[in-house]
Structure 1
């Protein structure tokens, strides 16, 4: 379970570029919850993810993962418990290393091992091959190929597998299909939903697609000006339309959502 308590973060404080990025943001994400987050550029979505991942420390507030206080835990230690995917398929992998080598690094980091495989190497290779086969992209037969030769969709699917090869306590998806073509994006989203469901992973996913925000997972959050202005789940969410979301955003934020990318999403 993730628990964020009254998070606050200001960048460039005391300068003309001062920006209040998070303000009194609180959220509880129980085990197995899959929440989609919608908000305009600058709403604080990626900043919230960076705070959770440990890219910086918040100015005020606390963060807990299960019963562990991670507020001031270094980023590299949090990465053993938190998986993360970015919008750019080029991030998250080493292009000159093979598929197997990338998976090995991800496995070692998440499992806390400090030495390379030895006698168990073949066992791990079989495990990786089985996991890759489930992606249904033929990557199980290309384990010795450099990741840089993969397409964007293949690379993002591999990154998803790397983030979950050891089941994380939390998965952060920062528009992880936005750079993919619609067909590939749909396939990666289906893989995402299956992995999150089958492993009961707590997940936060940023999306600009209003329909996805209502269809994927079991919960929808809307952010504005560094705070959560709307949080819906259950039967109320199931009955909502995109227009309902826009209306509720206006009620919570005090103004209409003004972002063409979101409003024109299919």
Structure 2
């Protein structure tokens, strides 16, 4: 479904700031895979997402989505097939527009130039009710008045209003308090399962990395150093992950944020 072959990316080549962010990275996802990714800062996780989303073109290799070569497809065309959430809850929504206006834009209905129908509003209310946050009763309030967790849940709903072929979740709960983060993760799990969306999720929480989805990757220095799934993953603990990372990367994981996560 997603096929990445030997991609590489170097920023600022030939300068003192040269940085090889990805090197010979290959990855294949089957339709419906929910893959969690763990790695220290600078491991290449967000760079991988940026390459998939088309924020830049890779220097080498290829990226194909659902049989289509998207290696040199512009980002705005990829966005029709790829949904994405970021760590910052403020990204992904228009704060001065109402909840229903944001949903209308995401759904491709209503908006500025054509009125929303009763059917549109009913559809939005029904989807919002699934979040169990009371947003279905606040559809005409500006999104800027929502809490971070409410806004991130709304962004997830918008990204999957027309289910994408691929969903990229870039530490989308990291800026939320633990209770809200847990609720957004549950919503994430439910939405992904309901629509059978192929998903890549970066997380700093190793316990979540093992509990969510069906496959876990660990990255270091622009490489995938661990890829576990199935029975092997089902029996793994956080300590097992750390040991396997040490074996694959040749060093200990030294990111306190990851190591101290619950």
Q: 227, 233, 238: which one pairs with 1:231?
A: 227
What is the Cα deviation at residue 121 of structure 1? 2.3
SS, match of residue 199 in structure 2: strand
Superposed CA deviations along residues 158-195 of structure 1, whole A, max 9, x for unmatched, are 00000000011000000000111111100000000011
SS, match of residue 90 in structure 2: coil
SS, match of residue 207 in structure 2: helix
* Shift in CA distance, 246/190, structure 1 to aligned 2, threshold 3 Å: same
Are 1:215 and 2:211 matched, yes or no?
Answer: yes
Divergent runs of 4+, >2 A: 113-118
Q: 156, 159, 166: which one pairs with 1:163?
A: 159
Residue in structure 1 matched with residue 123 of structure 2 by the alignment: 127
Residue in structure 1 matched with residue 86 of structure 2 by the alignment: 86
SS, match of residue 58 in structure 1: coil
Q: 132, 138, 141: which one pairs with 2:137?
A: 141
Residue in structure 2 matched with residue 70 of structure 1 by the alignment: 70
* Mapped partners of 1:107, 1:8: distance in 2: 34
Q: 179, 187, 190: which one pairs with 2:186?
A: 190
Whether the 8 Å CA contact 2:103–2:124 is kept in 1: the answer is yes
SS, match of residue 124 in structure 2: helix
SS, match of residue 21 in structure 2: strand
Whether the 8 Å CA contact 2:105–2:111 is kept in 1: the answer is no
* Mapped partners of 1:5, 1:117: distance in 2: 43
Whether the 8 Å CA contact 2:35–2:200 is kept in 1: the answer is yes
Matches within 5 A, 1:195-210: 195-210=191-206
Residue in structure 2 matched with residue 180 of structure 1 by the alignment: 176
Residue in structure 1 matched with residue 251 of structure 2 by the alignment: 255
What is the Cα deviation at residue 89 of structure 1? 0.4
Give the TM-score of the pair, scaled to structure 1: 0.96
Residue in structure 2 matched with residue 16 of structure 1 by the alignment: 16
RMSD over aligned CA atoms reads 1.4
Paired residue total: 262
* Mapped partners of 2:12, 2:227: distance in 1: 30
What is the Cα deviation at residue 125 of structure 1? 1.4
Superposed CA deviations along residues 111-152 of structure 1, whole A, max 9, x for unmatched, are 9x999545x622111111110011111111111100000000
What is the Cα deviation at residue 106 of structure 1? 1.2
* Mapped partners of 1:36, 1:222: distance in 2: 9
SS, match of residue 148 in structure 1: helix
Superposed CA deviations along residues 186-229 of structure 1, whole A, max 9, x for unmatched, are 00000000111111100000000110111011100000000100
Which blocks of at least 5 consecutive residues in structure 2 are unaligned? Answer: none
* Mapped partners of 2:114, 2:107: distance in 1: 10
Which blocks of at least 5 consecutive residues in structure 1 are unaligned? Answer: none
SS, match of residue 228 in structure 2: strand
* Mapped partners of 1:261, 1:137: distance in 2: 29
